[in-house]
Structure 1
């Protein structure tokens, strides 16, 4: 375990405490220079998420083609009572990567936990979301933690206690490479702690045409979302991408059981990376994201390998998406 960072604690309301764990800063320019200069050029998916990117992603989740968000919401609405019966009283819900804290609202309404602990690296996003949440759920003590959850899956103070449920919804677990996923699931096991549990979403393998449509929507929102990473880098680092001569590509790699997203150069791209130049030839693809798809049996084995004991799994009638409940 890494040495704990100093914690800045602020009381922002009668039921809202904000903990700043000072997420480590990264050298953005050095990271981008290294990843674009690699044999297979790539960019970290975090560069999707500036203000425009976050707005585009919210729009993507509402498209007809993008099934995960609405399918998961329906599963939670249909089965959260059954999940609560299996868990018993839930003292704390902890949510790594909580973002706008929208999905947890169903659980807060149904389970009435004593505390909710969202972990999110974006300070402004976390503050905005939890201030509203504290007003909407005055009986829930909210302990908001500004932290990079991939580096430090731990909670401040006396927050760890029996009955803590880690909530990790969506298909985010599919964005991790297999080795990183194993390590991350072990981190979630540590975060849940003795007597705790994990409720996690996993997107399932399905017809490739359905997957292709989900990542190539007719409105072009996913394409705009992918390309927005370049707009983001142009604004922050003045990389001088000619975005009009880049193309969004998303396809299903059946051998790896994953959707791959790329940006393809339609012409040579001469980039400015600080005091150096880099040319990406026409036809070069920049790999921006993977989204692995699972089977129920395969993902259950991964949970067991991470130390969890599976308690239940819920899927929709079309087997598009799964929610897994597992004990520490």
Structure 2
């Protein structure tokens, strides 16, 4: 059962609901019990993003090797007015909203078009939801914000219905859809499809298949920021679950799997390790050279995104790319049942 929402207004046009509680600690514990006791150890990438992890990721986004954020921002700068004209959206729902830095370009275009009514950010970090809500209502006259502090994989059912049936955009930016394995990706897209009415649109960011050298550099930068970001997940486990990982005893590994067309990030034990996860009573061993997978990031072709959307009952309406064709923003809607 979901925890009761904790609602509070920080502004007369802001409502924040939190659906996170003690169960979130259990989620991390469950993921550790499941992922680290497998023959091939792995953890989901959502546990990267504690406060320090989020700061490191912000640094990654500014690195010269890391093009996705830069390319997606360029598309939104150039094409937000076009997106708003196509959709006529009065509302923007954003999964994994963070600081809403890129989304602000869409909100500005909606405001300029005279359609902007409500923004619904969803993020696990309550401070980010609150601060961005306050900033945005002060920036855009008349904007209302209904913030949801929660996990977009588990709390989509708490997204409020659209206002007066007016069109809305559900945005899932940053290429985050690539963190899902193919079957999970299609299941998640079906859950997004359920949020869309006949006049609504999904706006989803996808990183595109390209030269493996470009891809691998983006996930293994020369400054070592991505390596620090990757190892930070062990710090999270040490703090939250009373584990005793020797963080510096693991090296960052990133490579492009050409068969699956995805990037994998792993942590490799430099020498044999014995680890205790105190709160779970769990003892783990790592052989020298043994790897723990911490992320996959699938890269897309037009055929792949079209096929994934079709499997979720949606159709691709348009795909907008940056000038270099590195990244795409895809507009989709629920497939019409009429013949």
TM-score, length-normalised on structure 1? Answer: 0.93
Cα gap change, 1:213 to 1:44, in 2 (>3 Å): same
- Partners of 2:95 and 2:61 lie apart in 1 by 20
Residue 225 in structure 1 maps to residue 229 in structure 2: yes
2:316 aligned residue: 310
Q: Which residue of 1 aligns with 2:123?
A: 120
Runs of 5+ consecutive residues of structure 1 not aligned to the other structure: none
- Is contact 1:81-1:110 (8 Å) kept? yes
Please show how residues 312-327 of structure 1 align to structure 2 within 5 Å.
Answer: 312-327=318-333
Instruction: Tell me by how many angstroms 1:6 deviates.
Output: 3.7
Please show how residues 1-328 of structure 1 align to structure 2 within 5 Å: 6-22=4-20, 24-27=23-26, 28-88=28-88, 90-112=89-111, 113-159=116-162, 161-274=165-278, 275-328=281-334
Separation in structure 1 between the aligned mates of residue 266 and residue 2 of structure 2, nearest angstrom: 37
Shift of 1:235: 2.1
Alpha carbons of 1:155 and 1:162: their partners in 2 closer, same or farther (altered >3 Å)?
Answer: farther
Counterpart in 1 of 2:337? none
Cα offsets for 1:252-304 (capped at 9, x unmatched): 00001000000000111110112342211111100000000000222122112
Distance change in 2, residues 1:282/1:82 (3 Å): same
Structure 2, unpaired ranges of 5+: 335-339
1: CA distance, partners of 2:155 / 2:24: 14
Distance 1:326 1:227, change over 3 A: same
Query: In the aligned structure 2, how far is the partner of 1:182 from the partner of 1:33?
Result: 25
Paired with 1:190 and 1:243, the residues of 2 have a C-alpha distance of 41
> Please, which moves more after superposition, 158-167 or 213-222?
158-167
| SS of residue paired to 1:154 | helix
How many residues were matched structurally?
325
- 1:253 and 1:311 map into 2 onto residues whose CA distance is 29
Write out per-residue CA displacement over residues 100-124 of structure 1, whole angstroms, 9 at most, x where no aligned residue. 1111100111112110111112223
Label 1:313 to 1:60 Cα distance change in 2 as closer, same or farther (>3 A).
same
Give the whole-Å Cα distance in 2 for the aligned partners of 1:52 and 1:227: 11
CA deviation vs aligned residue, 1:199-249 (integer Å, no higher than 9, x gap): 111000000000111111111111110011112212222321112221100
Report the 3-state secondary structure (helix = DSSP H, G, I; strand = E; otherwise coil) of the residue aligned with 1:42. Answer: coil
How big is the shift at 1:193?
A: 2.5
- Residue 77 of structure 1, CA deviation: 1.0
Distance 1:300 1:172 in 2: 17
2-structure distance, mates of 1:78, 1:156: 29
CA 1:183–1:30: 2 relative to 1, 3 Å: closer
